[in-house]
Structure 1
């Protein structure tokens, strides 16, 4: 089992509320999403593992069980070309849950015309493999979002 925690502090809104059909339709996998507080902060790793993909706007950590967890910082933020994001680690690094991965400013993302909502997705999972899935409520970075069985 893998406990997946929130990479950011904010309000959980669930994947269905994400303003992007790829995420809201769970096309990349099941999970949830967090609407972050609008202040500069670090997005942290939701699990212990290895960073197998790392971009200013998104990262994937694979844990010891082979579970890949995608954290996407905002919607269509790839179009910002890294502006407003500071990557703190390197692809291939071993990271721990709660470790800062990327510094960013959700308010600046919003001012640039993008949604700062952060999908947290269990890649290549099935919806029934997740339990305790949060769909609403306030969370702090590091709070449990779901268990991947």
Structure 2
């Protein structure tokens, strides 16, 4: 059982409410999303594991059970070409839950015309594999978002 924690402070929202059909339709996997506080912050690793994919706007951490957790910082933020994002780790690095991965400012993303909402997705999972899914209420960085069996 893997506990996936919030990479950011903000408000939990259902994945279905994310303004992107790929995420809202759970095409990449089930999970939840965070509407982040609008201040400079650091997105942190939601699980202990290895960074297997790393972009300014998104990263994937795979835990020792082989579970890949995607954190996507905002919607359509790939179009910002990394502007406003600072990578704090490298692909292949081993990280611990709560370790800073990317520094960014959700307010800047919003000012650029993009949604700062951050999907946190269990890659290649089924909805049945997740439990205790958090889809509302305020969350702090490190609060539990869901359990992955």
CA RMSD across the alignment: 0.3
**TM-superposition CA deviations, 1:88-134 (whole Å, max 9, x none):** 00000000000000000000000000000000000000000000001
Counterpart in the other structure of 1:99: 99
Instruction: Mark the runs of 5 or more structure 2 residues left unpaired by the alignment.
Output: none
Q: TM-score, normalised by structure 1?
A: 1.00
**TM-superposition CA deviations, 1:4-62 (whole Å, max 9, x none):** 00000000011001000000000000000000000000000000000000000000000
CA distance in 1, matches of 2:14, 2:93: 29
CA distance in 2, matches of 1:55, 1:5: 20
Counterpart in the other structure of 1:121: 121
Tell me the matched-pair count: 149
CA distance in 2, matches of 1:103, 1:91: 16
CA distance in 1, matches of 2:119, 2:147: 16
> Once superposed, which parts of structure 1, at least 4 consecutive aligned residues long, lie more than 3 Å away?
none
CA distance in 1, matches of 2:103, 2:47: 17
**How far is 1:140 from its partner?**
0.3
| 1:1-149 to 2 correspondences below 5 Å | 1-149=1-149
Q: TM-score, normalised by structure 2?
A: 1.00
